Amino acid sequence: KKLLKYGAQYEGKRTDAAMQKWRSNRFGQFIHWGLYAIPGGEWKGKTYTYAAEFLKSSAHIPNSTWDSLQYQFNPVKFDPKTWAKMAKKMGVKYMTITTKHHEGFCLWPTQYTKFNIGNTPYKKDIIKALVDAYNSEGIDVNFYYSVLDWHHPDWRYDIKTKEDSIAFSRYLTFAQNQLKELAENYPSVKGFWFDGTWDQSIKKNGWWTLQVEQMLKSIRPGVVVNSRLRADDYGARHFDSNGKMMGDYESGYERRLPSPTDTQVIHRDWEACMTIPENQWGYHKKWDISYTKTPLELIEMLVQTTSLGGNFLLNFGPKPDGTIRIEEQQIAEHIGNWMKINSAAIYNAGHAKGWPRQDWGYFTQNETTGKLYAVVFNIPISGILKIQTLEGITISKASFLEKPDVPITVKEIAKKQVNLYLPQQSFSEPFVIILDTINENKNKYIDAKT
């Protein structure tokens, strides 16, 4: 065990109300919006297939050229209420917005750099507009902040010289000032989502990462901070050199989920963030350059994440004119229709402790009532949902969440084995079954002697 000054500050899940709200939200909308939306993955007539928010580096565009995009940023059709209403209908309980991405352009009128929304034709504070619109729809707002900054002259990838050290300490002061500004000027902010903290320069300054987290929590008590911010005394990230998670939830699942049987994750809070295309966070003009996930695939990811006690953050990349591309609107609509019927299995639900992984879908369990849900994605040819139950538990009743009066026959066929007989009907959407369980008398079945 190493003695650490900048390692994990506490162990186990936070149990305060703010964290319980963060956890019960379960489903969130990520929004990546910045100057990169203007070129939308294309430059000088060439389409770049790497992530659109990386176009500056993919197309080797110098700062002077890239930075002049700010004079073109004018989302005339931007209406934050439209975005917030779409998000509400989709069923998200929180939203995470890029206040500043790797390009360094700030969506709020920061006093610490001119490279911000105030110096664009649009002028207005986009962060304030979004916070107000989403909060009035009852949706919590978190701020994404990239520590990596391609624009700022004092950013360094590594600290090799005295000059590097002097410049980078100026950068750390700049970033801390911006974060203080965000925490103070937008008091309803519920969390900070740090990105761009993988370089040596940050790993050599773990002290700063803890200082920033402590500053944010003193300005905004209850605020939730992701593990990706932190580096410890030895440069270890997310988990300190003693294997303890730093920050309030694990944020290493980016464009990937834990396997459904990876029950390690259930011991901590965590979030998976997901793109609809294979790897586009910012707006890309051409979506057909990679696979784009269907609504049903995204719903299954949301359910799988909930079943493992995590949050699911689905990304949208708005267009430069301030509208949401039609493909994203259609996905939001489909998911929203599903959530309208089935959100009881998602909100304030999590891992169903002890219930083994099933091949027809996922169990989720309400954290308060303990109510057990089976979310079905794969109906067996037999029409029989075979459920392996928990030791000493059997299922006394099963009913469709959507249509409670449609009977589902339940038959216990052996120890810890129950059959649910589904009605002969076709299903076009994943559906939820509420399972009532009881403790059975232990000696009803005996194991074979072998």
Report the relative pairing of strands 393-400 and 431-439 from DSSP bridges: antiparallel
432 is an interface residue for ligand LM5 by CB under 6 A:
no
In the complex with ligand LM5, which residue's Cβ is closer, 152 or 351? 152
Regarding 53 and contact with ligand LM5 (CB under 6 A), the answer is: yes
Within residues 101-160, the interface with ligand LM5 by CB under 6 A covers none
Q: List the structure tokens of 25.
A: 């939200």
Nearer of residues 87 and 148 to ligand LM5, judged by Cβ = 148
Task: State whether residue 146 is helix, strand or coil.
Answer: strand
Q: State the minimum distance, in angstroms, from the CB of residue 424 to ligand LM5.
A: 45
Toward ligand LM5, which CB reaches closer, 69 or 433?
Answer: 69
The single residue listed with the structure tokens 């049903």 is 296
Q: Which residue, 197 or 306, is less far from ligand LM5 as judged by CB?
A: 197
Question: With respect to ligand LM5, which residue has the nearer C-beta, 102 or 268?
Answer: 102
Q: In 3D, which of 409, 303, 420 has the Cα closest to residue 357?
A: 303
Instruction: Indicate whether 254 belongs to the interface with ligand LM5 (CB under 6 A).
Output: yes
Size of the site for ligand LM5 (CB under 6 A): 7
Distance in Å, CB of 146 to ligand LM5, minimum: 7
Nearer to ligand LM5, 51 or 331 (CB): 51
Q: Which residues sit opposite 232 in a β-bridge?
A: none
Regarding 281 and contact with ligand LM5 (CB under 6 A), the answer is yes
Q: How far is the CB of 273 from ligand LM5 (least distance, A)?
A: 6
Closest among 144, 155, 170, 256 to 200, alpha carbons compared: 155
Q: Measuring CA to CA, which residue among 107, 126, 85 is closest to residue 34?
A: 107
> CB 48 → ligand LM5: shortest distance, Å?
14
Compute the distance between CA of residue 211 and CA of residue 402 in angstroms, rounded to an integer. 48
Shortest distance, position 313 Cβ to ligand LM5, whole Å: 9
Closest CA to 377 of 415, 430, 314: 430
Q: What gap in Å lies between CA 144 and CA 96, rounded to an integer? A: 6
Supply the minimum distance, in Å, between the C-beta of residue 201 and ligand LM5. 13
Q: Please state, in angstroms and rounded to a whole number, the distance separating the CA atoms of residues 448 and 450.
A: 6
For the chain, helix, strand, coil in percent to 5 are: 30, 25, 45
Residue placing its CB nearer to ligand LM5 in the complex, 20 or 58: 58
Q: Chain centroid to CA 164: how far?
A: 34
The residues that touch ligand LM5, with contacts defined as CB under 6 A, are 32, 51, 53, 195, 254, 273, 281
